[in-house]
Structure 1
Amino acid sequence: MFELLAVGTIVGFLSGFFGIGGGTVLVPILLALGYDTKVAIGISVVQMVFSSIYGSYLNKKNGSLDLSIVLYLGIGGFIGATLSGSLAAYFSNTTLEIVFLLFATFALIRLFFKIPEYKEQREVNKIVLLIIGLFVGSLSMMIGVGGSILIVPILVGFLHIDLKRAISAGLFFVVFSSVPGFISHYLNGHIDMNAGLIIGMSSLLGVYYGIHFKQKIQTSLQRKLIVVFYVSVVSYLSYRVISLI
């Protein structure tokens, strides 16, 4: 119980601070605690429902969330996430961990390439946004991450949206993907509801302080901290995958 409460608070803080769904750190922690890969992914999705909804409410309250930015991406994410549980059931635990590792490695590598920020937002074809959301929603929910790892660079690099607003929009995208993702994983028997609720509820406190802290620090420091975070995740997952192979 106390372990799960602590894990939920930490994951919630990282979710709010970095604008992520929380699964990128929660799944490796649950794997280290001995949970089955698919159950760890299912619990992660439950936590994301809590943290993304509450975090998006706080972002809307402080004025950093523009709902129109993520609407079509979100609709696509919703559709894609409904397939996630069936996709996860189709693959082995080892395959899912390898996909998760590749996902985290991509997130780490992209941080070393500066995404130029622009003063004016530009229009992009709504069908393109829908397709991007569908792909990101199905892939991310299959491995128990929110998808904002991919959504944030898309918003900044292609739509020319300010980084902090993009992070808020990325967390809101997780609302669209995590709710149907939860239903899909539940129907496929991947959810430990007791552990998921404990972690999900305790994550709300972490989300509050994570979002508060995000508003107080410089973007450059936030970038350095997220690099450290992803290096840790990729190192641990690489060790696990090598051990499994």
Structure 2
Amino acid sequence: MEPFLYFVIVFCLSILFSFLGMGGAIIYVPLLYWLGMDLLTAITIALLLNVVTTFSASMTYIKKKMVDFHTAAPFIVSSAIAAPLGAFVSQSVPENTILTVFSLIVALAGLIMIFSRKIGKSECGIKAGRKERLVLGIALGLFIGILAGMLGIGGGTFLVPALLLLGFGIKAAPATSSLVVLFSSLFGFLSHIGSLEIDFFLLGGMGVTALVGGQIGSRLMYLRQDRLRVFFENYFSRILGIVLISIAVMVQYSLIGK
């Protein structure tokens, strides 16, 4: 495939996922795999793109003072511990097993995205204290770290709904999630870097594209008009959830054909 098409895809996805406080690896991994890359290379590149996108977005969110560093810290530390374990698992089990686990996780993420806005709008938001946030941060951070290392998923799809449940606002949740996903993806990438086999011109071009897209997506969080805001809050998470479930089904279907 022409490098230009890779750049266009990464640009569009980085805008979209930085807006949502995610890195986009949950889409990048199956997409790059279907475009002909081996699975471990697709995972490694997806994690790197996650790092660039969420770094770009986090710079904007930090400047806007929307990131809760106290909540993010335990997620970051525990994901750093778990990411190498996930990478070891991914390099030690058959490819079909990884893809099966990936499809199940993506399907679960899709269901969470479909119902996450209901969590954010309902009365179930918890004004959690420091102890509760610490416990949740360590537990969910370990889970996110394993996902990053094993499947190349930064974990934002699970973290944003969790933060909404804790009582975070519609802007603070993606902002804090971006910082956590930045580090979980970085630790996952460093655990996989030895398996990276790709044209570094292509990799650099995708990285720059993700950096620009991350800036645009994070700034859209503050520029969006009322109609666009209503659309994203009411419909977009459901549409994304359906897309994720469809990807999970397609991955499973491709495995049946092997």
TM-score (norm 1): 0.89
| 2:146 equivalent to 1:144 | no
| 2:221 equivalent to 1:231 | no
Offset at 1:94? 1.7
Structure 1 residues 181, 94: closer, same or farther in 2, change over 3 A?
Answer: same
Q: Deviations over 1:35-67 (max 9, x none)?
A: 112211111011111111111111111232222
Q: Deviations over 1:77-124 (max 9, x none)?
A: 111113232121122222222222212211221234321364845331
> Do the aligned residues in 2 keep the contact of 1:121 with 1:161 (CA within 8 Å)?
no
SS in 2 for 1:70: helix
Offset at 1:7? 2.1
Offset at 1:184? 0.5
Q: Which residue of 1 aligns with 2:198?
A: 192
> Do the aligned residues in 2 keep the contact of 1:7 with 1:199 (CA within 8 Å)?
no
Bigger mean CA deviation after superposition, 90-99 or 38-47: 90-99
- Cα separation, 1, equivalents of 2:96 and 2:148: 16
1:155-194 matches, within 5 Å, as 155-157=163-165, 159-187=166-194, 189-190=195-196, 192=198, 194=200
Q: Deviations over 1:128-167 (max 9, x none)?
A: 422321122112331111111111122221x222232111
- Cα separation, 2, equivalents of 1:126 and 1:103: 24
Letter paired with 2:98: L
Q: Which residue of 1 aligns with 2:34?
A: 32
> Do the aligned residues in 1 keep the contact of 2:156 with 2:177 (CA within 8 Å)?
yes
- Cα separation, 1, equivalents of 2:17 and 2:197: 20
| 2:251 equivalent to 1:240 | yes
Structure 1 residues 57, 193: closer, same or farther in 2, change over 3 A?
Answer: farther
Find the partner of 2:137 among 129, 132, 140.
Answer: 129
Percent identity of equivalent pairs? 26
Q: Which residue of 2 aligns with 1:95?
A: 97
Q: Deviations over 1:21-42 (max 9, x none)?
A: 1101211221221111221111
Query: Greater helix percent: which structure?
Result: 2
Find the partner of 2:20 among 11, 18, 21.
Answer: 18
Unaligned runs of 5+ in 1: none
Q: Which residue of 1 aligns with 2:57?
A: 55
Structure 1 residues 12, 148: closer, same or farther in 2, change over 3 A?
Answer: same
Letter paired with 1:180: F
> Do the aligned residues in 1 keep the contact of 2:71 with 2:134 (CA within 8 Å)?
no
- Cα separation, 2, equivalents of 1:224 and 1:93: 34
Letter paired with 1:209: I
Q: How many pairs align?
A: 243
Structure 1 residues 223, 178: closer, same or farther in 2, change over 3 A?
Answer: farther
Offset at 1:233? 3.4
Letter paired with 2:142: L
- Cα separation, 1, equivalents of 2:169 and 2:128: 9
Structure 1 residues 145, 119: closer, same or farther in 2, change over 3 A?
Answer: closer
> Do the aligned residues in 2 keep the contact of 1:31 with 1:37 (CA within 8 Å)?
yes
- Cα separation, 1, equivalents of 2:215 and 2:209: 11
Bigger mean CA deviation after superposition, 200-209 or 229-238: 229-238
- Cα separation, 2, equivalents of 1:223 and 1:35: 35
- Cα separation, 1, equivalents of 2:243 and 2:136: 33
- Cα separation, 2, equivalents of 1:180 and 1:93: 21
- CA RMSD of superposed structures (Å): 2.1
